[in-house]
Amino acid sequence: MNAVVAGTGLLPWQEGTWSRIEAMLEAGRPPHGLLLHGPGGIGKRRLGARIAGAILCGGPGSGPCGACRSCHLLGAGSHPDFLRIEPGEGEAVIPIGSVRNLIDRFTLTAERARVAVIAPAEAMNQAAANAFLKTLEEPAGNATFILASDAPGRLPATVRSRCRKMAVPAPARGEALAWLETKANPALARHLLDLSDGSPLAALELGERHGEEALAALRADTAALLDGAADPIEVAGGWRKLGDGGLVLSALFAALRNLARRGVADPDRLYAAVDDVVDTRRQWLEVPGLNEQLLYEGLALRCAGTAA
């Protein structure tokens, strides 16, 4: 996991949310189920770990003190009363085995506080969600389950209704950019943020996954394509090499948005290109077994010279 995601420090845009959480924790026992929901890539999992730290902390104050034994164990990833439930590496689903493990560990003793962060909660498959629901319905002991979700509508309504819900807002663009510029190459930060719908952690992760050089090349090639200064077939070949269709479409969309902002393209051509990207994204998501090469080449040929 990315070090920023794994940490428990407060991100600059989470201060308001943290005040609400502190008030909740000070008001009494934490809820059995807490659902943190909001856009992806803004630090919900990290916030969940911080809440866990606060609940388990033996020090003074309402947040994790960072100095007690519990905080040290949590920081080292070896706290016996803390669990992260996530899909396995490269997997999309949280299987029932993970939830069974959670239930086994959390129902051993009744009184000790225990906290689990389940993220993304909507990744629990049906069997896992059913098993988890039972735990929520018949709470054993002093356990808190923190669910983090970008798509709470995909959680079973029965799970949702048994959780206290807390909306976690996305940062303002300026705030996200200022933070990202301290973590990634400042020259690329704006671009990374454009490619990640303004979600700073997602932007950072994107930069780490693809490398700054590849992302800078993607931006340059896509801009050159729209300017009519690059060979569409070559650009399409570069897109394909990246192996990330969602990223390519986001880059194209960001470049078109840039043209719109600068007012340099013919509006009819621009809107047609935007429609084309939206339509291609839909095909990408809905049609299995698409011929990627044809898809990219067609898109590149149609969008070439939009700004010219």
Tell me which residues touch Zn ion (CB under 5 A).
Answer: 57, 59, 65, 68, 71
Contacts of 46 (CB under 8 A, 6+ apart): 4, 5, 6, 7, 8, 11, 201
> Residues 99, 131: contact at Cβ < 8 Å?
yes
**Tokens 């149609």 map to which residue?**
302
Minimal distance in Å, beta carbon 198 to Zn ion? Answer: 33
Minimal distance in Å, beta carbon 148 to Zn ion? Answer: 22
Torsional sign, CA 174, 202, 81, 98: positive
Minimal distance in Å, beta carbon 116 to Zn ion? Answer: 18
Q: 80 or 97: whose CB is closer to Zn ion?
A: 80
Minimal distance in Å, beta carbon 146 to Zn ion? Answer: 18
β partners of residue 116: 83, 145
> Residues 31, 20: contact at Cβ < 8 Å?
no
Helix axes 267-286, 292-303, angle to 10 degrees: 170
Helix (H) or strand (E) holding 148: strand 142-149
Q: Are strands 33-37 and 113-118 parallel, antiparallel or unpaired?
A: unpaired
Q: 49 or 274: whose CB is closer to Zn ion?
A: 49
Q: 37 or 79: whose CB is closer to Zn ion?
A: 79
CB atoms within 10 A of CB 134: 10
Minimal distance in Å, beta carbon 281 to Zn ion? Answer: 45
**Helix or strand or coil: residue 308?**
coil
Minimal distance in Å, beta carbon 9 to Zn ion? Answer: 13
Q: 65 or 113: whose CB is closer to Zn ion?
A: 65
Minimal distance in Å, beta carbon 80 to Zn ion? Answer: 15
Instruction: Look up residue 250 and give its DSSP letter.
Output: H
Q: 59 or 139: whose CB is closer to Zn ion?
A: 59
Q: 57 or 168: whose CB is closer to Zn ion?
A: 57
Q: 59 or 305: whose CB is closer to Zn ion?
A: 59
Residue type, 171: P
Helix axes 200-210, 173-183, angle to 10 degrees: 40
